Amino acid sequence: MQFSNLHLNKSILKALTENKHHTATLVQQEVIPLVLDKKDVIVTAQTGTGKTAAFALPILQDLLKEQDTEKGEKKIKALIVSPTRELAIQIHENFKMYGEYTNLRSTAVYGGISTAPQKEVLKKGVDILIATPGRLIDLHKQEAIDLLHLKTFVLDEADLMLDMGFIEDVKRIEKLCPRKKQQLLFSATMPEKVIQLANSMLYKPEKINISPSETTSKNIGQLLYYVPKKNKTDLCLHLLRNTINGKIIIFRRTKFGVDKLEQTLLKNGYKATSLHGDKTQILRNKAVEDFKNNKVTILIATDVAARGIDISKVDAVINFDLPNIPETYVHRIGRTGRAGKSGIAFSLCSADETAYIKAIEEVIQRKIQVINDQPFPLAKPKHIKQPNTISKHKKGRKSTNSKKNKKRWY
């Protein structure tokens, strides 16, 4: 479906066209009409599926209609609460891009920097506020934020909010808003506590689920390397020297692992940087900007630190440590292969991670090709009856599972 079929304002369509956004993603096709129809909505979908535009475009559309009838000082009409500073900044950039040819004003407030410049912008008036929970509550206490005119409340990455301990803050923020408002909740996964939060906040919500197998791009090649844990770094270096080129994101499970791998890559002459929660905001911003601007070609990150950061033109992803949550795998590899371009994901699996592969393959509904021709092979784990290799005579075989995943509510 084309964006032009969604009855969006001409100024919004102009910005979309200039940024070469013509076709709406599945989540955008499902969500935008519901938001425009003033429904409360719960959406389960991975990052990289176009979630931000799914709420940003209808919010801009709605506020443009109000702007035609209301004049005077700008009041906060839409609030988007995000768990991380990086994600808040990214959402703000998207609002600025989509609203370039409108008079609507947005801003992002988050911790790690002084409140003074943020208060100055708020004082001038904004239509759309993007905020992290702690900074929002802090600025509200200082009477720098007025939410009495709010029409739409968006909670983004709700499961990450839960992981980071922000759920009580979110409940507190929701109570600061008017009772009558539209509420939208987006989450990559839907654990029980997020379901409980949604049920307590939203009124008769429409429920949209974009399953992980639907979001795994056909443009992403997926390769699996069984390797002894002690040889993972050696294999990673081997792949970087002989196989992987371009801009690369490497995922590690811990902050210590991120720092250790960064030091190793720097010693071996690679232009690398890192991203994790112990870095200051200034260093985190610099890492993202250096990677975006090609000052470095490798970004090593933890899942939480990288969540929500939208970096285009990533050529490859390396899962140095496999995630124990299958949806996180989908989330990671979705960093590459965007906007119709091809990408590739390399996963390094040690003996203690083999159980994760089975769970991942069940979620993505496909086998990941195993590469045995490599210098540090791991003896085939006993509990794996058949290797997941794709032999030449099987490449043309069609999958027996031809049914599309049905949308479901957890």
DSSP string, 182-244: EEEEEESS--HHHHHHHHHH-SS-EEEE--HHHHS-TTEEEEEEE--GGGHHHHHHHHHHHT-
308: pLDDT strictly greater than 50 = yes
CATH number of 3-210: 3.40.50.300
The pLDDT of residue 228: 95
392: pLDDT strictly greater than 90 = no
Domains 3-210 and 214-394 share a fold: yes
pLDDT tens track for 288-303: 889 989 999 999 998 8
The per-residue pLDDT of the chain, averaged, comes to 86
The pLDDT of residue 49: 76
Q: Label the pairing between strands 106-109 and 128-131.
A: parallel
Scan for tokens 């993972």, then name that residue.
232
83: pLDDT strictly greater than 50 = yes
pLDDT tens track for 266-282: 999 999 999 887 888 78
Report residue 123's pLDDT band, with 50, 70 and 90 as the boundaries.
very high
Least confident of 30-44, 252-266, 292-306: 292-306
The pLDDT of residue 66: 78
Q: Label the pairing between strands 272-275 and 298-301.
A: parallel
pLDDT tens track for 163-194: 888 999 999 999 999 999 999 999 988 888 99
CA distance 244 to 49: 25
Least confident of 291-305, 361-375, 379-393: 379-393
Among 21, 25, 101, smallest CA distance to 61 is for: 101
The pLDDT of residue 319: 97
The pLDDT of residue 327: 79
Judge: domain 214-394, CATH 3.30.450.40.
no
The pLDDT of residue 70: 62
Domain boundaries, the chain: 3-210, 214-394
Q: How many residues does the chain have?
A: 410
pTM of the predicted model, to two decimals?
Answer: 0.68
The pLDDT of residue 213: 55
